[in-house]
Structure 1
Amino acid sequence: MPDPIRSQNPASLAADALRISGDLVRKEVSLAKAELRQNLSRAGAGVGMVLAAAVLGIVTLNVLTVALVAALAETALGPVWSAVIVGIVLAILAYALLRKGLADLKPENLMPTRTVENVQRDASAVKEAYHDA
């Protein structure tokens, strides 16, 4: 029985190889799209849970703040001064967090300086190798 692969000419073998490769690439792209959709769906659910946790965290902080004011109100400070003290402490904490956050968001702190240095070093090395050749 003759071998079907040997009976084909090189051009048809190349055409078959290209067709099979194209089919494989299309299937891989389709699989990647499906996986990406699934991962994005999972990420959306994760974002929803993070937002729910943030809302619960804010409510928790409010409850604990009220409890602290109530506890301090039971001392000789009274309710008004207790609320003022807790408010001032929270304002100082918020200010410190704001300053740190703004400092971290400055453009010079966001630049990928190590990557830029590595790319410049690589470009110099390639340029030197090119000039030496």
Structure 2
Amino acid sequence: MAALNCRIRGTCGLTERARCSARRVEIGTGEGGELVRRASQQLTELVPGELPLAQVEMAEMGKRYGKGSGLFGGAGLVGFLMLQALVATAIAPAGAVAGKKQASRAAPPTPEQTLHKESAKR
């Protein structure tokens, strides 16, 4: 606030340092307007030129994300199938052992009870 009052009334008893900073503000304000105008002009020229580049860059990134997610999904599917194969491999020997046990109980393939009844009748 003191710097604003100093610019309006001139030197109002402020130290030399405060007067110098008030002058810098006045000088900076004039150049600041020019800087803002140039920045605005450069932005209006820059943005339309950068949009196609940004679109190309985003398209490339999208392709990479697509390939990466496809590969990741494929790896998940292969892992799932491998897990199923592992479970089947673990179950198969148990089934084979149970089947052999049942087959050994069924041997010999002759009707022993009927043979015993027939031999008892004779």
Q: TM-score range by the shorter chain?
A: 0.3 to 0.5
Normalising to structure 1: TM-score of the pair? 0.44
Higher-RCO chain (CA-CA 8 Å, sequence separation at least 6): 2
